[in-house]
A and B are shown apart, each in its own frame.
Chain A
Amino acid sequence: MATAVQPVVERETYLNSNYGLKSWLLTIDHKRIALLYLMSITAMFWLGGFFAMLIRLELLTPAGDLLSSDTYNKMFTMHGITMVFFFLIPSVPAVIGNFVIPLMIGAKDLAFPRLNLASWYIYMLGAGLALWGFLFGGVDTGWTFYTPFSTAYSNTHVVTVALGIFVVGFSSIFTGLNFIVTIHRMRAPGLTWNRLPLFIWSNYAASLIMVLGTPVVAITLLLVAFERLFHIGVFNPALGGDPLLFQHLFWFYSHPAVYIMILPGMGVISEVVTCFSRKRAFGYEFVALASIAIAVLGFLVWAHHMFVAGISMYSALVFSLLSYFVAIPSAVKVFNWTATMYKGSVRFDTPMLYAWAFIGLFTVGGLTGVFLASLGIDVHVTDTYFVVAHFHFVMVGGMVVAYLAGLHFWWPKITGKMYPEAPAKLSALLVFVGFNLTFLPQFVLGYMGMPRRYHAYPPEFQVLNVLSTAGASVLAVGYVLPMIYFLWSLRYGKDAGPNPWNAVGLEWMTPSPPPTHNFDETPVVTWEAYDYEHQPQEEITVGH
């Protein structure tokens, strides 16, 4: 068959549709905004990692020799604030969610593209305020800003940093609002709620928390600032205020916020596990509704952060019981992911390695959460390294690992290029080994009674602390590697093609990288999510 010689015309994508700094800074394309977020939160991740490194170096020796106790206080505070508010909360939603949610539901963009860009600028403004506070003296209250220390005693930049978090909160409110409205109003014809990918469900649940919870922490931190500036005395016992009220208001947001930091990650895992098992998600409806259940229950458990703070025995009992309930939907998810893999055609690609790491680490993190929800154990391990290890298992072992799984899974879609598989597998291994080496010893340390937030400790704790610091170094290498090979792949990676994983889902039915308007024709959906049984089992051709 004779073919006429065609001049090679480069296909127009969202990346090459126009050029220049201005075309990025004024873009209203959700895909470009996702990349703006990717760059900003990556910078914040390394900053938070830098603080973590100083913490681990200080804890290498029992004596408080590297950092003074005041500097150490600032380090763990700024580590927590940077990682929680400026990395974890926006990580999966604002980067991966921003990029793939419109693609997954067959929309041309989010419902409010300008609001989406505005939320990035608000993020940058908040980050700028926080960095300003960090740079000109730091803040030492802990990321929780407990009163009256934060309002009456701390002589650091509490107001600047609290205002930074207040501002960045609105970025997360607007992102959540945009997602909810988009998921309600912008779905392609035929894409009913029961056909939505589970990633959409879990981001929907997380968005509910962002919209309902974040305003409360915003007003709480504003009151902290007012108290410092105008002495309104709401949280200061010397002025007749009640510090417990602060804790109630703070955790009313910040406990659900923990689920903002895990639900979108769970969504990533649902996508990855189904794709690399070639099976429909086991118990789809249960996994979907478990996300909503976690979001709803998340609002009813906040006082389990206050068991030793002086709340009444009866309310502690109720909150303890309600906290146990969260384990049910979480377990539903873990069991259903494993059941999805059962008798599936399981593949060992990098995203799947991360997904396995997630399932294992999240299970440990979740189960130790049940320990902490039970009153007797909580009293014993409150404010020890047991708590530190627990939430790092969920936030780092869970969310960061899921974020990496998602980045690897959708990188071909985002850039059109494959990352190199061998170093990626190595990095997944390093992250898993390094993470466990860092945080498993901390469970033991905490159980033995090492308190958190001290820069010095008795010499008998040194061995486990050295292990932990060594693990942190391995973990750091595991994080540096993807940074290098992702950048490398932009230039040297193989072309990915529209669907390198042979996955189902609307985002894989458009070219990689997608055109600015996502789809040339609005897709019409006539199939269930994860319809792998009816998908031709083609070999995956790219990436090996």
Chain B
Amino acid sequence: MATSTEIQAAERSFQHHFASIEQQRDTATFGMWMFLLTEIMFFGGLFCSYLVYRHNYYEAFVEGSQKMNIILGAVNTAVLICSSLSMAMGVRAAQMGNRKLMVILLLITIVFGFGFLGIKAVEYHEHWTNHEFPGPNFHFETGDPAHPATDPLHTEIYFGLYWAMTGLHALHMIIGIGLVTWLVIAGMRGAYSPMYYSPVENVGLYWHFVDLVWIYLFPLLYLISHKHS
């Protein structure tokens, strides 16, 4: 089954403070889950702030949400879900020892990742030119300027959270693309085999987590009650 080069590669990756390669794999995966737990708490602080202000300034949040480009957001959601699929298939390919397929699938994942960031950049540009960035140049008008339905300051908080949350998410995407690129390079050198693929598996977990954050961000930021009149 395993070729001699695969066995050598697995032996090179074995760290001697572990009793066995199984223990090493278990430990790495457990560590990644713990890390994702810290990530949940990290984003949790932002989600908590979001919930507080959405509750306090619901109308203003609806107003802000109207400015979101739902088409681009939905396309991006689809792009990310596809990237998770290719990532999952890449992990499977690594598990099966199909090196070429793994590299191709990971490259597809990278392309999807860049696709997401590109579309996000278009949206950011749109908001930027519309002065929908918090700070002295922030400008926001609703309906009749003489009788604004909501306080623009509150909509500014919506946009502050929008930029902070999606910005941190985008930063995670950039880190994820870097990690997958590293997997591709190491994978082409034959570092992974059915005996040793935990980096692929764990970067996969990270990728799915970042994807999942977006799955929550999309409805929370883009889809707040569009029936509001």
Also in contact, A111 and B27, with CB within 8 A (given A211-B34, A242-B56, A245-B49): yes
Docked Cα-Cα span, A517 to B19, in Å, equals: 13
Instruction: Report whether B45 and A234 are in contact in the complex, using a CB–CB cutoff of 8 Å.
Output: no
CB distance from B218 to the nearest CB of A (A): 20
Task: Check if B157 is an interface residue, CB within 8 A of chain A.
Answer: yes
B35 contact set on A, CB distance < 8 A: 177
For this complex, into which size category does the number of interface residues on chain B fall? 35 or more
A186 and B136 contacting across the interface, CB-CB below 8 Å: no
Main secondary structure on chain B at its contact with chain A? helix
B27, A522: Cβ atoms under 8 Å? no
Asked whether any CB of chain A lies closer than 8 Å to the CB of B17, the reply is yes
**Contact mask for chain B residues 139-174; partner A; CB cutoff 8 A; 1 contact, 0 none:** 000000000000101101101110110000000000
Judged by DSSP, the binding face of A is helix
Contacts of A244-283 to chain B: CB distance below 8 A: 245, 249
* Residue A126 is within 8 A (CB to CB) of chain B in the complex: no
The answer on a CB contact under 8 Å between B34 and A181 is: yes
Within the assembled complex, what's the spacing in Å between the Cα atoms of A184 and B164? 35
**Nearest-neighbor residue (CB-CB) of A238 within chain B:** B153
* Residue in contact with B45 in the complex, picked from A115, A233, A249, CB distance below 8 Å: A249
Q: Which of A233, A245, A522 is close to B153, meaning CB atoms less than 8 Å apart?
A: A233
Whether A181 and B37, one on each chain, are in contact in the complex, defined by CB atoms closer than 8 angstroms, is: no
Indicate if A507 sits at the interface (CB-CB under 8 A). no
In the complex, per-residue mask of B184-228: 1 if CB is within 8 Å of any chain A CB, else 0: 000000000000000000000000000000000000000000000
When distances are taken between beta carbons in the complex, the residues of chain A under 8 Å from B4 are none
- Establish whether residues A223 and B49, one from each chain, have CB atoms under 8 Å apart when the complex forms: yes
Q: Are A240 and B27 in contact (CB under 8 A)?
A: no
Residues in chain B near residue A329, CB distance under 8 A? none
Inter-subunit contact A240/B153 (CB<8 Å): yes
Q: Mark A105-130, 1 if CB is under 8 A from B, else 0.
A: 00111011101000000000000000
- A212 and B41 alpha carbons, distance in the complex (Å): 6
Output the least CB separation between A163 and chain B (Å): 15
Residues of B within 8 A of A173 (CB): 38
Docked pose: A241 CA to B164 CA in angstroms: 15
Question: Contacts of A212 on B, CB cut-off 8 Å?
Answer: 37-38, 41
Asked if B164 and A214 make an inter-chain contact with CB atoms under 8 angstroms apart, the answer reads: no
Contact check, A230 vs B135: say whether CB atoms are below 8 A apart. yes
Assess the A232–B31 pair: CB atoms within 8 A. no
Nearest CB on A from B23, distance (A): 7
In B1-47, the 8 Å CB interface with A consists of 15-19, 23, 26-27, 30-31, 34-35, 37-39, 41-46
Instruction: Decide yes or no: A239 and B52 within 8 Å by CB, A181-B31, A212-B37 being known contacts.
Output: no
Residue of A nearest to B167 (CB): A226
Asked if A219 contacts B42 (CB within 8 A), the reply is yes
- Cβ of A112: which chain B residues have Cβ within 8 Å of it? 27, 31
Q: B residues within 8 A CB of A220? A: 45
Do A239 and B153 touch (CB < 8 A)?
yes
> How far, in whole Å, are A242 and B56 apart by their CA atoms in the complex?
10
A185–B29 alpha-carbon span in the complex (Å): 11
Question: Are A211's CB and B135's CB within 8 A?
Answer: no
Judge whether B136 and A231 touch: CB under 8 Å. yes
Closest chain-A Cβ to B26's Cβ sits at a distance in Å of 6
Give CA–CA (A107, B23) in the complex, Å.
12
| B135-A231 in contact (CB<8A) | yes
Q: Out of A115, A233, A249, name the residue touching B157 (CB < 8 Å).
A: A233
Residue in A108, A185, A216, A230 whose beta carbon sits within 8 Å of that of B44 in the complex? A216
Decide if A233 touches B160 in the complex (CB within 8 Å).
yes
Distance in Å: Cβ of A187 to nearest Cβ of chain B:
11
Task: Tell me, yes or no, whether B58 is within 8 Å of chain A by CB.
Answer: no
Q: Are B41 and A215 in contact (CB under 8 A)?
A: yes
Within the assembled complex, what's the spacing in Å between the Cα atoms of A111 and B49?
35
CA A178 to CA B43, docked complex, whole Å? 21
A213 within 8 A of B: yes
Which A residues are in CB contact (< 8 Å) with B153? Answer: 233, 239-240
A103 within 8 A of B: no
Residue from the list B16, B37, B134, B164 in contact with A211, Cβ < 8 A: B37
Which one of B17, B39, B164 lies within 8 Å of A232 (CB-CB)?
B164
A404 to B35, CA, bound (A): 31
At the interface, yes or no: B114 with Cβ under 8 Å from chain A? no
Chain B positions within 8 Å of A464 at CB level: none
Asked if B124 is at the interface of the complex by the 8 Å CB criterion, the answer is: no
Once the chains are docked, how many angstroms separate the CA of A155 from the CA of B53?
27
- Please give me the residue from chain B that is nearest to A185 by CB atom: B27
A508-529: which residues lie under 8 A (CB-CB) from chain B?
517, 522
CB-based contact B45/A232 at 8 Å: no
Residues in B neighbouring A231, C-beta threshold 8 A: 134-136, 138, 160
CA–CA, A115 and B159, complex, Å: 36
Q: When chains A and B are docked, how far (Å) is the Cα of A537 from the Cα of B34?
A: 43
B71 at interface by CB-CB < 8 Å: no
CB distance from B174 to the nearest CB of A (A): 16
Q: Which single residue of chain B is at the shortest CB-CB distance from A114? A: B15
Is A180 part of the contact surface with B, judged by Cβ < 8 Å?
Answer: yes
Contacting A at CB under 8 A, from B50-67, are 52-53, 56-57
In the complex, the answer to whether B27 meets A230 with C-beta atoms within 8 Å is no
A403 to chain B, nearest CB (A): 25
Given A231-B136, A234-B49, verify A180-B34 contact (CB < 8 Å). yes
Are the CB atoms of A185 and B161 closer together than 8 Å? Answer: no
B42 touches A111 (CB 8 A): no
The 17 sampled A-B contact pairs (Cβ below 8 Å) are A108-B16, A109-B17, A115-B31, A173-B38, A177-B31, A180-B34, A181-B30, A185-B23, A185-B27, A213-B41, A231-B134, A231-B136, A232-B161, A232-B163, A233-B156, A249-B45, A517-B16
A113-B17, A242-B52 known; 19 new pairs, CB 8 Å cut-off, are A177-B38, A185-B23, A185-B27, A185-B30, A211-B38, A212-B37, A220-B45, A223-B45, A223-B49, A226-B164, A230-B163, A231-B136, A231-B160, A233-B156, A234-B53, A234-B161, A240-B153, A242-B56, A245-B49
The 7 closest A-B pairs by CB, nearest first: A232-B160, A215-B42, A219-B45, A108-B17, A215-B41, A240-B153, A109-B17
A interface, CB within 8 angstroms of B: 107-109, 111-113, 115, 173, 177-178, 180-181, 184-186, 211-216, 218-220, 223, 226, 230-234, 239-242, 245, 249, 517, 522
